[in-house]
Amino acid sequence: MTTESINVSRLFEKWILDGDTKLNEIDLVLKIKEYLESQHPEICGKCTPCRDGVVKMEALLDKYIDGTATIKTLNELESLVINLRASRCSVGLDIGKNIEVVLENNYHVLYKPVKKY
């Protein structure tokens, strides 16, 4: 295992075990983005949900960083994450599962900053 993947595993252990994360929203978003970027070399480019979905998810997370996220951004993010269940191999499926856990445990963190109207 590379240092990077060990870091990522630790991160997820923390997220999964520690349901109520102490991270604030920006930190959480940055961590998710970091994780997604770390998966880029694994993506083979064959199936749509993973190849195009991951990049799109990053673009949506950027909206959180810019402070322009709306409720639509969150909905879209959610649907893209669930769509990763349609991936062809475990790369996409694993990314999807990990982010699903994050969303489940930290939905309120991502929900707080969005503009509701």
Among 52, 65, 57, smallest CA distance to 113 is for 65
Among 66, 68, 43, smallest CA distance to 54 is for 43
Q: How many CB atoms lie within 10 A of CB 20?
A: 8
Binder to other proteins among 61, 83, 109, 110 (CB under 8 A)? 83
Q: How far is the CB of 22 from other proteins (least distance, A)?
A: 29
Residue 42 engages other proteins in binding (rule: CB under 8 A): yes
Residue 33 engages other proteins in binding (rule: CB under 8 A): no
Residue 115 engages other proteins in binding (rule: CB under 8 A): no
5's tokens: 């993947």
**Residues at the contact surface with other proteins, assessed by CB under 8 A:** 40-49, 51-56, 59-60, 63, 72-73, 75-76, 79-80, 82-83, 85-88, 93
